[in-house]
Amino acid sequence: MSAPILQTARLSIPRIGLGTWQLRGAEAQRAVEGAIALGYRHIDTAAMYGNEDAVGAGIAASGLPRGEIFLTTKVWWTELAPDALRASADASLKRLGTPYADLILIHWPAKGMDLAASLGALARLQADGLARAVGVSNFPPGLLRRALELGIAPIAALQVECHVYLWQEALAALCRQHGLALTAYSPIAKAQVNDDPVMQAIAAKHGATPVQVALAWLLAQDNLVAIPKSGRAEGQRDNLAAAALRLDARDMAAIAALPKDRRLVNPDFAPDWAA
């Protein structure tokens, strides 16, 4: 089993990937290796996760050619000056044991960042072959619009928190308009969907789980990719199988009626989300 592929003008990316936040060491390596054995071809990590060495070891141990895996990593918000961004990317690739990443993102914007300079450094990563594609994460609509209008980096993707309780239409519309892939992190709302009567009812109707329903709802949206985290083979298998689940109009309407403003990831350094 493998995930369907989202094809845009700037990248080809499996629509279900393995998120690895909070997976470390041997657990992270086993999770990556096991996910690839199950059919995953998209792995997401970041310098800040502290697991790039384990992720790289899992990819290497899978035995698959590097070109068959879509690998994303990210540069932390304290490293966005051009020289620091380049050094961070170089260090990430060394830890991952690969000469390139398929996608390198700015992980979070920094207050007062020199956006043009950071985008220029991103563009150089791609030009120099360290990244097949580049993008941003956790940018609010105004900042994403500015980044796109500058035209400095060929932004291919935006990664943000997105799930049945947080639908970010302004960002989704920008992604549709500009042909960006929208990658949803925390796509199962930190498993809160399991306790939701609406999600439970839809799941029972389809012989599925609330988590699978949550992922299927995301995959019903245009240009959307989801990266649920699971270190267990059973969870990984169920998440991947969600790609085959088709929700009907009644299901979609019931999920649409759920609150869509429940943000679960909002650290002190987060941007003004309404900006």
Residue 49 bears catalytic tag: yes
Q: Rounded to the nearest 10 degrees, how much is the dihedral formed by the CA atoms of 238, 239, 241, 247?
A: 110
Type of residue found at 16? I
Do 139 and 233 contact (CB within 8 A), yes or no? Answer: no
Where do the DSSP E strands lie in the chain? Answer: 5-7, 12-14, 18-19, 42-44, 70-75, 101-106, 131-137, 155-161, 181-185, 224-226
Strand order in the sheet with 181-185: 18-19, 42-44, 70-75, 101-106, 131-137, 155-161, 181-185, 224-226
CA distance 83 to 134: 17
Which one is catalytic: 40, 49, 100, 185?
Answer: 49
Do 143 and 111 contact (CB within 8 A), yes or no? Answer: no
Tokens of 238: 């169920």
Type of residue found at 21? W
Q: What is the DSSP letter of 167?
A: -
Tokens of 232: 């267990």
Task: Tell me the catalytic residues.
Answer: 49
